[in-house]
Amino acid sequence: MRDIDAILAARGVTEKPILVGWSYGAYLGAHWTSRNPDGALGAVLVDGAFPCDWLDEVMELRIRKLFKRLSWLLPLARPTGLTPRLTAQQQAESNIELGKLSSVAALGPVLDAITVPVRYVVASGTSFGSRGDEQEKIRAGLDAALDRNPHIVISAKVASDHGAILRKDFRAIADAVREVEALASTR
pTM: 0.90
Domain ranges, ordered by start, for the chain: 2-53+103-185, 54-102
Q: Report the pLDDT value the prediction gives residue 130, as an integer from 0 to 100.
A: 67
Strand (E) or helix (H) holding 41: none
Name the CATH superfamily housing domain 2-53+103-185. Answer: Alpha/Beta hydrolase fold, catalytic domain (3.40.50.1820)
Please give the Cα distance from 26 to 31 (Å, whole number): 9
Instruction: Name beta bridge partners: 43.
Output: 19, 118
Q: Report the pLDDT value the prediction gives residue 105, as an integer from 0 to 100.
A: 96
**Helix, strand or coil for residue 19?**
strand
Average pLDDT, the chain: 91
Please give the Cα distance from 66 to 180 (Å, whole number): 37
* Amino acid at site 105: A
Q: In the chain, which stretches have pLDDT less than 70? A: 126, 129-132
Q: Report the pLDDT value the prediction gives residue 102, as an integer from 0 to 100.
A: 94
Q: Report the pLDDT value the prediction gives residue 52, as an integer from 0 to 100.
A: 94
